[in-house]
Structure 1
Amino acid sequence: MFLASYRFGAHYDVFAAMTGAPGPIAVIANACDSWPRARDAALTSELVPLRELGFRPEEVDLREYDGRPAELGDRLARFPVVWVRGGNTFVLRAQFARSGADRILPELLEADALVYAGYSAGACVLSPDLHGLETSDDPGEVQPACGIDPVWAGLGVIDRPIVPHLDSPTDPEGTGNALANRLAAAGTPHWALTDADVVVRDGKETRLYTG
């Protein structure tokens, strides 16, 4: 797993070493489903840079697999890498639940069948719990975008929360810093990432690469 605050952080070389020669890559942009006017542009902002790096990106839109987890599993199993972009973590989590991605992706990871690369919401959704992220992502966007209530449990693939955008110009209100401070004060293990930092788990080894 390659988990970042923003895209590759300062460590594209690490991503490239994990994925090997550029090839097919599934792009999941459902964290942007509550942004109907901006979603297409948000997706394009992922596809174009990946193509420029030599990858062959294809969107896998989880909305097309609502209640069809077997079909989603078959589709994702064709890709060696899945790229999950940022946006609203709660919207992404809800779309994972509706499509069955919250079961399929952990199974594929357990089988070492793909590399999961996610940034911001795409990384946070793997945490055990999403409480605290409501200071930066609005759970109220879930019902209009997804038709279900917010899911507050993360996938639990990693053992602690990720707090993205530490000291970042993309977080002018400092919500990431405030959440990291609260977790630290409570003695809760977490990864607080600047936009240059990356957490990588390869097998049983987990490593933090800082900017």
Structure 2
Amino acid sequence: MKNLFLSSNGRFIIEKGLKMFMKPDKVFKLAYITTAQKGVDDVEYIKIHRQGLTESGCDFKELDIEGKGEIELRQALKDMDAVWVEGGNTFYLLKAIKESGFAKVIKELIDKGLICFGSSAGASVACPTIETSLWKVSEKDIKDDYGVKDLRALNLVPFLLKAHYKPEERDFLKKKIKEAKYPVRILQDNQAFLVNGNEVKLIGEKKEIRL
């Protein structure tokens, strides 16, 4: 059965997501995929999340998927209980996913029971497309697209995600959502969607934003 934990921010994975799957009597092996950080300037969040993973007690291995093929990725992931696809630049991440063997490998492993965590960009690539990464209220928020024009992504869920929701984006997003090809679901920080098979459940204290 498909098990996904798609979060707006990485800290929520450490504080909530891992605890939902880790068992006290078993070592929890996790591949921490940090490729998306290579497309951003400020990577302080990676240091913070590494420390959080260390303190969580899980046995994690950092993995960059860029430039790797199917054989190498299968070897790296073969004994893992879970992967965490970290945030950063969504376009850089999608480019690496498509150019490596990651898309095929991760889908096969998820079907076999591998748990997949995704935060921010890492959650967006689980969707049919990364269209929402183009939805920026201000031009200064637009990121380098690294030449990515085909926005089709992993299609692990049947909806698009808009992470890091802020109330001032409400009117802008209502317009964009009406134009979108797929349903759009919104996450605030410290929220996530837990996906078990075809069931989707919101995790977090606040109610889901619906526009």
Which bin holds the TM-score, normalised by the shorter protein?
Answer: 0.7 to 0.9
* Compared CA separation, residues 53 and 38, structure 1 to 2 (3 A): same
- How many percent identity over aligned positions? 23
1:23 has 2:28 as partner? yes
Q: Which residue of 2 aligns with 1:123?
A: 123
Residue 52 of structure 2: which of 49, 52, 55 is its match? 49
1:87-102 mapped onto 2 (5 Å cutoff): 87-102=88-103
Offset of residue 134 of structure 1: 1.7
* Compared CA separation, residues 155 and 92, structure 1 to 2 (3 A): same
Q: What's the TM-score, normalizing by structure 1?
A: 0.80
Offset of residue 10 of structure 1: 8.5
* Compared CA separation, residues 141 and 205, structure 1 to 2 (3 A): closer
Q: Which residue of 2 aligns with 1:155?
A: 154
Mapped partners of 1:27, 1:77: distance in 2: 14
Q: Is the 8 A contact 1:198 1:210 kept in 2?
A: yes
* Compared CA separation, residues 205 and 33, structure 1 to 2 (3 A): same
* Compared CA separation, residues 185 and 135, structure 1 to 2 (3 A): closer
Residue 62 of structure 2: which of 42, 59, 62 is its match? 59
Report Cα offsets for 1:7-49 as digits up to 9, x if no partner.
Answer: 25389445412243453211111111123x644x443222111
Offset of residue 128 of structure 1: 0.5
Q: What's the TM-score, normalizing by structure 2?
A: 0.80
Number of aligned residue pairs: 195
- What value does the CA root-mean-square deviation take over the aligned residues? 2.6
* Compared CA separation, residues 8 and 18, structure 1 to 2 (3 A): farther
1:3 has 2:6 as partner? yes
Q: Is the 8 A contact 1:26 1:83 kept in 2?
A: yes
| Secondary structure of the corresponding residue to residue 207 of structure 1 | strand
Mapped partners of 1:191, 1:83: distance in 2: 20
Deviation larger for 68-77 or 191-200? 68-77
* Compared CA separation, residues 178 and 162, structure 1 to 2 (3 A): farther
* Compared CA separation, residues 33 and 195, structure 1 to 2 (3 A): same
1:140 has 2:154 as partner? no
Offset of residue 91 of structure 1: 0.8
1:70-85 mapped onto 2 (5 Å cutoff): 70-85=71-86
* Compared CA separation, residues 117 and 88, structure 1 to 2 (3 A): same
Unaligned runs of 5+ in 2: 206-211
Name the amino acid aligned to 1:181.
K
1:186-197 mapped onto 2 (5 Å cutoff): 186=179, 188-197=182-191
Name the amino acid aligned to 1:48.
Q
* Compared CA separation, residues 185 and 141, structure 1 to 2 (3 A): closer
Residue 196 of structure 2: which of 195, 202, 211 is its match? 202
Unaligned runs of 5+ in 1: 144-148, 169-173
Residue 174 of structure 2: which of 181, 184, 187 is its match? 181
Q: Is the 8 A contact 1:109 1:115 kept in 2?
A: yes
